[in-house]
Chains A and B, each alone.
Chain A
Amino acid sequence: MESQLKSVGKRVPKVDAREKVTGRAIYIHDLKLPGMLYGKILYSKYPHARILNIDTSKAEKLPGVRAVITGFNTPEIRIGFMKDQPVLKKDKVRQYRDEVAAVAAIDPDIAEEALDLIKVDYEPLPGLFDPEEAVKEDAILIHEYDAKGKPLKNNILKLPWRLIAGDVEQAKKESDFIVEDSFRVTWVTHCCMGTSGCIALFDLDNNLTIYSITQIPFLAQNDFNAALKAMGLKGKNTRVINTVIGGGFGSKLDTHVYEYIAILLAYRTRKPVKILFTREEEFFAQPPRQPAIIKISQGCKKDGNLTFREVDMLLDNGAYTSWGATTPSVMMVPISSLYKVPNIKYTARSVYTNNIYAQAMRGYGNPQATFAVESSMDILAEAAGIDPMEFRLINVNLPGEITPQNFKVTTCGLKECIESVGEGLNWKDAKKNKKKKRGVGMSSLIHVGGGARVYKSDGHGMIMKVDDFGKISVITGAVEIGQGSETVISQVAAEVLGVFPEDIQIIKGDTSICPWDVGTHASRQAFVSCNAAIMVANKIKKEILDIAGKYFNVDPENLDIKNRVIYLKDEPENSEKQMPLDKLLRRAHFSKHGTMIMAETFYDPPNEMLNQEFKGNLSCTYAYGTTGVEVEVDTETGHVEIKKYFAAHDVGRALNPMLLEGQIYGAAVMGTGYALTEQLILKQGKVMNDNFLDYKILTAKDKIPIVPILVETIDELGPLGAKGIGEPACVPTAPAIANAIHDAIGVRIKDLPITPEKILKALKEKEKKG
């Protein structure tokens, strides 16, 4: 098969690249509709306060203002995973970014000016900013009632996470070495280069159209339809149309408050209303990745075999829930199943605070959990006197294994990943002939590789239709956020149909046209949409060959398509029995009982929902990988330089190595930011660094010599063997770097990011201790 692949496995350029390099791609920023108004949002002045009164009279009188809305003059819409957030707040504000009013005006400046004219009276309340304070029984309540109006007793989310496998207490007794540590991770934010925005408009029948950048158009349709119902428009429908999206990384897995505000303003004014975030808003009003305090204990035998892993986590949820409140479900993946550990105990609590509310970000909790697990792996290896790489190999996951969370490991290239990274780093030599201030470290990862059943359906719908010219339209619910799903769909469809990727046109981004897809998340899009593409392309191919068989009077089994030509398999050179695909299609179409060729499919991978014990085969295959780095630490300045960076990934099959490497490079750099430079600084709930000067993502000046290593295990269920790659590469970076820093200078930093200040402080403490 390998040598026969024509499109798959090639470095095919992204299908949307030409539009993007010429500046022709239309992002939400670029879209204007006739008569469009501009919406702006007024945010809270306090992190926690009672709203006494909102006076909008002056703002309403400002020329050019078309509507001013508050929670008092609009129907209540509740959103979020636990429906704990009203779109416009009227009783209390619970975080600085709480939306208290909004304006629609004929231009953005007038809207902005009108915001200044709105007067809100608050009665400030004491705030809770420390999750460890917020969990206490006597803590003040951030939410007095749940979504159903039932009184709440404390700030702990009613989402208890508890995974037990085996017997951790017994395993502790039987362990020769046990380590216990506490780690902290803080807020980081997606920093999509395209800020958030949408345009909402209603038709005469009160159906909603929303131009959106969501990663989950069909779940968004569901959410917005619920909002319409709350607005008294029961039975009305939403059409979600995606513009080109300026980056996702998990920031668009929820529907967001600003979108509902645009909807309310559009309904009030009967005009299209656009809301577009400024960069400051993107920093302070766009939910970041959750912070967590992670206690972890692990044990092993003298021979290095892991005996147990116990993790307890406290997550700062912030003021409201998003889907991100479910990230502990994915944190369980590495906690239960990274390396062979027979006994597992994992508990997690999420707590309301008056901080900015959080959501998922690339890895969906996995980077936080893996930071703790893989840092602890090194600490335990040291305690047991075993080389950290050796230690990982002793416990490596292998095909055929069933993990304590009941994951069925099918293909698994983790061993190869560890070994190839070790080779790249010259691990043994680096350890034996240790250079001063230099160190090596590694970390592995496991992630869902074939989607994940976090929603009732993990499915993907696809329609394919062939025209009279041999061109193929693929109508898909997949959302392209830059990763290249459209390109690999084209490659795979072309492969099956014996045509070229440029013959395929992707039709997407419209819930009224495209079949359902659960969303671009869980690194699933290539896996599910390419599987769907193979299924539906095979249907199309069968129809075409059946018609051709009749025409040539041969068994269709004996026919195939190559380079847009139908030919006889036995006699590929026989031009009598060949016909260009387009010619046959026209013949089929314009004959007496003419036919059009089209097909559809709905592919739902055989993934299981976790049961009440949080066990089950969440994904039908798992992605593995190992990152290894060599660092040099300047002990005068605390600066960390990454000298070598190897990222080995079990990708199943590289459908398009160029795009795949792009995912690895991008995620590796994002992961390095998580490790070393990025943090949203909050002071009493207020984001203090809402700009790129103070929130430091890496730039082209930060040289990281990333070497991707693609390990192909050809997964049976993957499309031509492929697994997911969107998130994995950012997961192991931070612990690999932390481990390397420890190797270099003997200090272990347990809270991210590992800033020069923390390194210098740790060095000083180490010196003091002698």
Chain B
Amino acid sequence: MKKVISFKLNGEDVEAEVEPHWSLLHLLRETFELTGAKEGCGKGECGACTVIVDGKAINSCLFPVMEVEGCEVTTIEGLATLNGNLHPIQESFVANGAVQCGFCTPGMIMSAKALLDENKNPSEDDIRTAIAGNLCRCTGYVQIIEAIKKASERREP
């Protein structure tokens, strides 16, 4: 039985017909064709599917689609401007070598964004905690943590 939900997606009001058992990740990838959020496990274990819902970074693979009603959802596609201006966190990931295969990257960046939106000046431990649920097999996390730290410094007035 399909249901209609409406919510805000990357700043735009949207409506979608969904099956109630879908995950938010399924909706994003299949209906909206926003494939930036990845499915690395589908079970809430890897963080590759992280998006921001009402300011919180969540695993969209576990997030029931019906709960999106009325929410504000931001995905990796919502960060850069259309003409290619990257968000400071994205810039920092590029500049600091925080990207290798890149599969974890969109999720990492969304977790980092949720953190920096809430805490302008996070400590290294804050950063480690914020991305603890985002697995990365390539980088050993070092340059990712550095990138997030530098992005936070840059955003300081």
A residues sitting closer than 8 Å to B (CB atoms) are 11, 13-14, 16-27, 29-30, 190-195, 244-249, 278-279, 481-484, 658-659, 661-662, 665-670, 691-693, 697-701, 703-704, 706
Residue on B nearest A278 in the bound complex, by CB: B42
Report how far A658 CA is from B147 CA in the complex, Å: 12
Docked complex: B119-151 residues within 8 A CB-CB of A: 127-129, 131-145
CB contact under 8 A between A27 and B40, given known A247-B138, A658-B96: no
Docked complex: B17-76 residues within 8 A CB-CB of A: 29, 34-43, 45-46, 48, 75-76
Question: Least Cβ distance of B129 to chain A in Å?
Answer: 7
Which residues from A are CB-within-8-Å of B128?
700-701, 703
Question: Least Cβ distance of A22 to chain B in Å?
Answer: 5
Which residues from A are CB-within-8-Å of B131?
700
Given B80, B95, B109, B140, which contacts A666 in the complex, CB threshold below 8 Å?
B140
Report how far A484 CA is from B35 CA in the complex, Å: 23
Which residues from B are CB-within-8-Å of A14?
94, 97, 99-100
Q: Establish whether residues A662 and B41, one from each chain, have CB atoms under 8 Å apart when the complex forms.
A: no
Q: Establish whether residues A27 and B42, one from each chain, have CB atoms under 8 Å apart when the complex forms.
A: no
Report how far A135 CA is from B157 CA in the complex, Å: 69
Which residues from A are CB-within-8-Å of B45?
279, 691-693
Q: Establish whether residues B109 and A21, one from each chain, have CB atoms under 8 Å apart when the complex forms.
A: yes
Docked complex: B88-103 residues within 8 A CB-CB of A: 90, 93-97, 99-103
Q: Establish whether residues B42 and A482, one from each chain, have CB atoms under 8 Å apart when the complex forms.
A: no
B116 at the interface (CB under 8 A from A): no
Q: Establish whether residues B132 and A245, one from each chain, have CB atoms under 8 Å apart when the complex forms.
A: no
Which of B41, B48, B97 lies at the interface centre, i.e. has the most chain A CB atoms within 10 A of its CB?
Answer: B97
Given B35, B38, B75, B94, which contacts A21 in the complex, CB threshold below 8 Å?
B94
Q: Establish whether residues B35 and A30, one from each chain, have CB atoms under 8 Å apart when the complex forms.
A: yes
Interface size on B, residues (CB 8 A): 54
CB contact under 8 A between A29 and B132, given known A662-B139, A706-B142: no
Report how far A285 CA is from B60 CA in the complex, Å: 26
Q: Establish whether residues B97 and A193, one from each chain, have CB atoms under 8 Å apart when the complex forms.
A: no
Which residues from A are CB-within-8-Å of B46?
193, 279, 692
Residue on B nearest A701 in the bound complex, by CB: B132
Q: Establish whether residues B90 and A701, one from each chain, have CB atoms under 8 Å apart when the complex forms.
A: no
Residue on A nearest B76 in the bound complex, by CB: A23
Q: Establish whether residues A193 and B104, one from each chain, have CB atoms under 8 Å apart when the complex forms.
A: yes
Which of B39, B80, B95, B102 lies at the interface centre, i.e. has the most chain A CB atoms within 10 A of its CB?
Answer: B102
Question: Least Cβ distance of A737 to chain B in Å?
Answer: 15
Question: Least Cβ distance of A19 to chain B in Å?
Answer: 8
Which residues from A are CB-within-8-Å of B77?
22-23
Q: Establish whether residues A21 and B99, one from each chain, have CB atoms under 8 Å apart when the complex forms.
A: yes
Report how far A192 CA is from B41 CA in the complex, Å: 11
Which of B96, B101, B128, B134 lies at the interface centre, i.e. has the most chain A CB atoms within 10 A of its CB?
Answer: B101
Given B135, B143, B145, which contacts A692 in the complex, CB threshold below 8 Å?
B135
Residue on B nearest A668 in the bound complex, by CB: B140
Which residues from A are CB-within-8-Å of B143?
658, 661-662, 665
Question: Least Cβ distance of B44 to chain A in Å?
Answer: 9
Which residues from B are CB-within-8-Å of A20?
99, 102, 105-106
Residue on B nearest A25 in the bound complex, by CB: B102
Given A190, A245, A659, A665, which contacts B140 in the complex, CB threshold below 8 Å?
A665
Residue on A nearest B96 in the bound complex, by CB: A658
Q: Establish whether residues B75 and A23, one from each chain, have CB atoms under 8 Å apart when the complex forms.
A: yes
Q: Establish whether residues A670 and B35, one from each chain, have CB atoms under 8 Å apart when the complex forms.
A: no
B79 at the interface (CB under 8 A from A): yes
Residue on A nearest B29 in the bound complex, by CB: A30
Which residues from A are CB-within-8-Å of B41?
279, 691-692
- Given contact pairs A482-B101, A700-B134, A706-B140, enumerate 4 new A-B contacts (beta carbons under 8 Å): A246-B38, A247-B137, A247-B138, A706-B142
Residue on B nearest A193 in the bound complex, by CB: B103
B86 at the interface (CB under 8 A from A): yes
Which residues from A are CB-within-8-Å of B38?
27, 29, 193-194, 246
Q: Establish whether residues A26 and B35, one from each chain, have CB atoms under 8 Å apart when the complex forms.
A: yes
Residue on A nearest B91 in the bound complex, by CB: A21
Q: Establish whether residues A670 and B140, one from each chain, have CB atoms under 8 Å apart when the complex forms.
A: yes
Residue on B nearest A692 in the bound complex, by CB: B45
Q: Establish whether residues B135 and A24, one from each chain, have CB atoms under 8 Å apart when the complex forms.
A: no
Q: Establish whether residues A23 and B34, one from each chain, have CB atoms under 8 Å apart when the complex forms.
A: yes
Report how far A18 CA is from B79 CA in the complex, Å: 12
Can you report 18 residue pairs joining A to B where beta carbons are below 8 Å apart?
A14-B97, A18-B90, A20-B99, A21-B80, A21-B99, A23-B34, A23-B76, A25-B102, A29-B35, A30-B35, A192-B137, A193-B48, A246-B38, A279-B41, A658-B143, A665-B143, A670-B137, A691-B45
Q: Establish whether residues A29 and B39, one from each chain, have CB atoms under 8 Å apart when the complex forms.
A: yes
